[in-house]
Amino acid sequence: MNPDDLWQRTLARTTQALASEALRPIETSYEYVDDGGVRFLVRVVANLRRKDADRRAVDPFSLPQSKQVNPFGPHDPELFVADLSSTHVCLLNKYNVVRHHLLLVTRAFEDQRRLLSEADCDALWRGLADIDGLGFYNGGADAGASQPHKHLQLVPLPLAPKGPAVPIAPLLPSAAADEIVRADALPFEHACACAPWGDQPYRERGPATHDAYLRLLRRVGLLPRSGPLPDSPAGPYNLLCTRRWMLIVPRSREYVEGISLNALGYGGALLVRTAADLARLKALGPMTVLERAAVAPR
Ligand code: AMP
């Protein structure tokens, strides 16, 4: 595929999949909630039952692979967008809240808890090369992943109609390409890198991104500082990656008071199911919710 086609293919496939109802968007309203120097975008879902039925009948991570129902292996051809590489395909997210939400899925089954590979990072940049978006990874069920088959995700920017393209981004410090930094305003463990790929062309950034990913995981204590790499990091985490920066956030739990969080939440875009959840989120403050689902700074 010519990767420049990815956006055009996304638009065309979305039109077809909406018409055939292979794509089942989740309708939301939204509002902004200011907390901790961030204008959080909070979406409120009228009805999550359909997605929950797919997702929560059984915890898919707890089943042996032979018993798992895997929506990505095989994937629904009506949601197929593109062949990204010999190892990855691009699909539409069937139950999308954000328009044009893409999944970057390994062709062969790999466990979502395993470390990302250089091939995963290459696939991510095949997406980011054509779509100025937020790439993200929910590393494990406690980080918000619902599917055990390895999948990165990509949503176009901006995340919110008003304000910064990624609400949390203004808190991230600028730094040299080889530095790993923290944002003083984030009250939980994390590590950030600013364009560790330097000025390499988009499609050549996979190896430098993979290298930075491993360094960020080491910095937050999810990988040993030396010795051979394990198959998986020591715990759940979220990865966020744009054309400009990368952020790793170790996680302790998926839910805080019934509110589920994934990597998008750490970008500043939250999703709640009901008005009662929204009220609880406002009472706690979104930054406190993020803090409770993460781990204390080391
Ligand atoms: P996560 O919940 O972060 O693991 O992301 C997996 C995504 O896959 C969810 O957002 C679901 O909406 C989506 N999904 C579930 N079933 C399918 C399917 N059959 N085809 C494409 N996407 C799906």
Tell me the per-residue pLDDT of 210-250, one tens digit each, with 9 for 90 and over: 999 999 999 999 999 999 999 999 999 999 999 999 999 99
Name the residue at shortest CA distance from atom 2 of ligand 1. 146
What spatial distance separates the first Cα and last Cα of the chain, rounded to whole Å? 44
Which residue's entry shows tokens 């997406």? 127
pLDDT the model gives residue 69: 81
pLDDT at 157 over 80: yes
Ligand 1 pocket, residue 238 CB under 6 Å? no
Ligand 1 pocket, residue 139 CB under 6 Å? no
| Helix residue ranges, H only, 136-274 | 206-219, 263-267
Which letter does DSSP use for residue 181 in this model?
B
Name the residue at shortest CA distance from atom 8 of ligand 1. 93
Distance 246 CA to ligand 1 centre (A): 23
- Give ∠ CA 263-267-271 in degrees, rounded to 5: 70
**How many Cα atoms sit within 13 Å of 168 on the Cβ side?**
27
Q: What is the band of 67 on the pLDDT scale with cuts at 50, 70, 90?
A: low
Q: Which long-range contacts (CB under 8 A, 24 or more apart) does 28-35 make?
A: 28/97, 28/271, 30/160, 31/278, 32/160, 32/162, 32/163, 33/281, 33/282, 33/286, 35/285, 35/286, 35/287, 35/288
How crowded is residue 171: how many other Cβ atoms within 10 Å of its Cβ? Answer: 17
Which ligand 1 atom sits closest to the C-alpha of 92?
21
Separation CA 146–CA 163 (nearest Å): 29
Q: What percent of the chain has pLDDT over 70?
A: 91
Peptide bond into 250 cis (omega under 30): no
Taking residues 145-161, report their average pLDDT: 97
Ligand 1 pocket, residue 71 CB under 6 Å? yes
Nearest to 265 by CA among 281, 276, 279: 281
pTM of the model: 0.94
Which ligand 1 atom sits closest to the C-alpha of 138?
3
Helix (H, G, I), strand (E, B) or coil at 104: strand
Q: Going by C-beta distance under 8 Å and a sequence separation of 6 or more, which residues neighbour residue 163?
A: 32, 39
Ligand 1 pocket, residue 61 CB under 6 Å? no
Average pLDDT taken over every residue of the chain: 93
Which ligand 1 atom sits closest to the C-alpha of 112?
4
Q: Going by C-beta distance under 8 Å and a sequence separation of 6 or more, which residues neighbour residue 26?
A: 45, 47, 48, 50, 51, 95, 96, 97
Q: Which of the listed residues 103, 150, 255 should we mutate to test ligand 1's pocket, taking the one with most ligand atoms within 8 A of CB?
A: 103
Distance 55 CA to ligand 1 centre (A): 8
Distance 203 CA to ligand 1 centre (A): 26
pLDDT at 298 over 70: yes
pLDDT at 64 over 80: no
pLDDT at 270 over 80: yes
Q: Which of the listed residues 23, 45, 78, 93 should we mutate to test ligand 1's pocket, taking the one with most ligand atoms within 8 A of CB?
A: 93
Separation CA 80–CA 93 (nearest Å): 10
Q: How long is the chain? A: 298
Ligand 1 pocket, residue 262 CB under 6 Å? yes
Name the residue at shortest CA distance from atom 16 of ligand 1. 71
Nearest to 169 by CA among 155, 158, 153, 180: 158
Q: Are 231 and 220 in contact (CB under 8 A)?
A: no
Separation CA 216–CA 196 (nearest Å): 11
